[in-house]
């Protein structure tokens, strides 16, 4: 599974973070909408449940930036570097990320703050009894995120098992772009286009002398067989079900996820870490049983795209 990169061109602010598992779920919803339940099961759900996903996604990163490997935050910094600079930073430039994965100490100018800009727009709720806006609570705001003017695209990395799987992924991304990604697409948020064809990102997979770890580029959840020595930042995710399932409670159970930049000790770099979270884990037995009675099966694709790295072994204990 070689690694490729595709550019996403946002056409509006977005409200939902471009996280790998959320995007993967949106592609599953797109698949069933466009191609039907049988195709969804055959090409996505069944392979993912078997631990053989046809493709694995990264989060979508601003411009050509990459997440800072967490191991760097825990190891000794070069002499003269202010630790506060690293703590405030969120990203590395792509070439600096390559160098860091090869064990080279970063320069202070390597670190970048968050370029994503928060925006707000005003909306209104129309009264059913008049042509005007409701007097109480009629106006409300929605916050979203955009990129600065000098940064036009997001970078999405992926691995696919073969050319057919790549074409399938691109078809689903295109169909998703016609609708939009994430929350409030009905009011114009989450609109995007695919900018150009995928390009080979083989530098991320280059053999690294002495590589002893992998770095995740995805929001993901480890599987029971994944490496346990490493360093990571976890967070609680409060997900919701996609539309069209006919359930009154769309909330998923709270999931513990790992952020991009997680590092794990590994003698060799696998194609991915993580697993597909089952419907029982997402919803509980009762709601899962009700959906299965209607021949509905859902998963959360919580796979992590990883790349090889050479890091200080002392922080991977």
In the chain, which stretches have pLDDT less than 50?
122-123, 126-127, 139-140
* 185 vs 272: CA distance, rounded Å: 30
Q: Which residues pair with 155 in a beta bridge?
A: 7, 61
CB 37 within 8 A of CB 295: yes
Provide the edge-to-edge strand list for the sheet that holds 65-67: 65-67, 91-93, 111-112
Closest CA to 264 of 304, 206, 204: 304
Reading the block at residue 292, the tokens are: 């299965």
Q: Are 30 and 175 in contact (CB under 8 A)?
A: yes
Query: What is the pLDDT, as a whole number, of residue 127?
Result: 47
In angstroms, the CA 146 to CA 152 distance is 9
Strand partners, 6: 156
Q: Nearest Cα to 68, choosing from 299, 304, 262, 280?
A: 262
Paired with 60 in beta bridges are: 156
pLDDT score for 83: 72
Adjacent-strand bridge partners of 231: 263
Q: What is the pTM of this model?
A: 0.89
Sequence length of the chain is 317
Residues contacting 235, CB < 8 A, separation 6+: 256, 257, 259
- The pLDDT assigned to 89 comes to 85
Gap between the Cα atoms of 317 and 198, Å rounded:
37
């Amino acid at each position: 599974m070689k690694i490729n990169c595709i550019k996403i061109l946002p056409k509006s602010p977005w409200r939902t973070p471009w996280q790998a598992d959320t995007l993967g779920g949106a592609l599953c919803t797109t698949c069933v909408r466009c191609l039907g339940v049988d195709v969804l099961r055959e090409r996505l759900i069944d392979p993912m449940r078997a631990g053989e996903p046809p493709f694995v996604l990264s989060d979508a990163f601003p411009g050509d930036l990459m997440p800072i490997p967490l191991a760097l935050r825990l190891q000794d910094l070069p002499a003269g570097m202010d630790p506060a600079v690293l703590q405030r930073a969120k990203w590395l430039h792509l070439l600096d990320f390559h160098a860091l994965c090869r064990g080279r100490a970063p320069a202070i100018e390597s670190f970048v703050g968050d370029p994503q800009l928060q925006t707000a727009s005003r909306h209104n709720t129309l009264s059913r009894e008049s042509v005007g806006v409701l007097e109480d609570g009629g106006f409300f705001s929605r916050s979203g995120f955009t990129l600065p003017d000098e940064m036009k695209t997001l970078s999405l990395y992926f691995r696919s098992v073969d050319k057919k799987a790549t074409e399938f992924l691109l078809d689903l991304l295109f169909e998703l772009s016609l609708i939009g990604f994430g929350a409030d697409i009905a009011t114009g948020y989450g609109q995007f286009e695919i900018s150009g064809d995928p390009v080979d990102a083989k530098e991320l997979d280059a053999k690294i002398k002495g590589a002893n770890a992998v770095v995740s580029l995805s929001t993901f959840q480890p599987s029971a067989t994944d490496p346990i020595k490493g360093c990571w930042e976890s967070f609680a995710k409060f997900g919701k079900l996609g539309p069209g399932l006919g359930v009154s409670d769309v909330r998923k159970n709270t999931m513990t996820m790992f952020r991009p930049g997680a590092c794990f000790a590994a003698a060799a770099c696998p194609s991915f870490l993580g697993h597909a979270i089952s419907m029982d884990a997402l919803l509980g037995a009762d709601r899962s049983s009700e959906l299965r009675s209607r021949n509905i099966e859902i998963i959360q694709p919580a796979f992590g795209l990883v790349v090889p790295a050479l890091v200080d072994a002392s922080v991977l204990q």
